Homo-oligomer: A and B are copies of this chain.
Amino acid sequence: MYRPQIKVLDCTIRDGGLINKWQFSDEIVRKVFLALSEAGVDYMEIGYKSSEKYFSRGEHGAWKFCTEDDIKRIVGDMQTTMKLSAMADIGRIDSQDIPQKKDSILDMIRVACYAKEIDKGIALAHECLDKGYEASINLMAVSKVLERDLDEALDDLSKSYVPVIYLVDSYGSLYSEQIHFLAKKYFSALPGKELGIHNHNNQQLAFANTIEGIIAGINRLDATLYGMGRGAGNCPLELLLSFLKNPKFDIRPLIQIIQDIFVPMKAEIEWGYHIPYLITGVLNEHPRSAMKIMAQRELPDLRSFYEDLKDGTQLD
């Protein structure tokens, strides 16, 4: 699949940081930056933009905050055409912590929000655009949104001037036919806007559903090194770049950094396909209950975990 419009964003440090509270050393972040840049990746999402009023450094690593000083320590004088992005959550960042683009190394700010808070999301994305950044809205957990509410959120987005909207399978619960259904709905509701896709791997479908997104016409693709990300993780970047025939991509630096850094890291911090994540994915639930039991020294009885969670969802 070679489509020159396709842009790949790596969010290893941002989404992977949800597992280790962004406690990545500067050396690792620098190596990731260099490998992604060498591989031809279009954007590196280096973390969240959050205010220190809401979170403490120490408990959270630098990539929860992504101040200009943090990013400068990594990028230094290195030249690259790769752009830098950070994600912002509604209510976790104040205006004064988002400098004007002319004073920032960041190129893009992606606003993550739920359908019910879409107006706040649009306001924040508009603020970022007005300050000179590229901006997008990542509409999270769409698998849980009732169709009427989704249509309303898409209608609000269509009236905004946010140019890029992401289809996000936060729970890793969507199948290919649902990806096609939603992509068609988004395209039809959002004329003139670009679409992106961000998938989780609870059912081993993150890469497959990204391919289906591409087939459906989506051009902005999220992935992470070795699939590192919350819970079951994300679409593995090395698989995605192998699939894309765009001549600018090269998977060799990715193979190397995965072998050097992410294979050993995965032995320490578990992410990827595990039965608790399959269970929340299949039941279309937030992975938090699965993450909680995965953090225990010994797993509880998973058949009961499934039965209890299923009973719970049926009472909703």
Q: Report which A residues bind B (CB closer than 8 A).
A: 175-177, 201, 203-209, 211-212, 215, 236, 238-239, 242-243, 251-253, 255-256, 258-259, 263, 272-273, 275, 278-279, 282, 299, 301-303, 306-307
Chain A interface, >50% SS class: helix
A208: contacting residue among B204, B255, B272, B273, CB under 8 A: B204
Identical chains in the assembly: 2
| Chain B nearest Cβ from A73, distance in angstroms | 27
Contacts of A279 in B (CB 8 A): 255
Contact between A275 and B303, CB atoms less than 8 A apart:
no
A303: contacting residue among B243, B259, B282, CB under 8 A: B259
Contacts of A303 in B (CB 8 A): 252-253, 255-256, 259
Contacts of A259 in B (CB 8 A): 275, 299, 301-303
Known pairs A175-B243, A212-B176; A256 contacts B302 (CB<8 A): yes
- C-alpha gap A258/B211 in the complex (Å): 29
A177 to B, closest residue via Cβ = B215
A278: contacting residue among B209, B242, B273, CB under 8 A: B242
- C-alpha gap A239/B202 in the complex (Å): 10
Contact between B205 and A238, CB atoms less than 8 A apart:
no
Contact between A252 and B301, CB atoms less than 8 A apart:
no
| Chain B nearest Cβ from A236, distance in angstroms | 7
- C-alpha gap A11/B82 in the complex (Å): 45
A255: contacting residue among B176, B205, B207, B302, CB under 8 A: B302
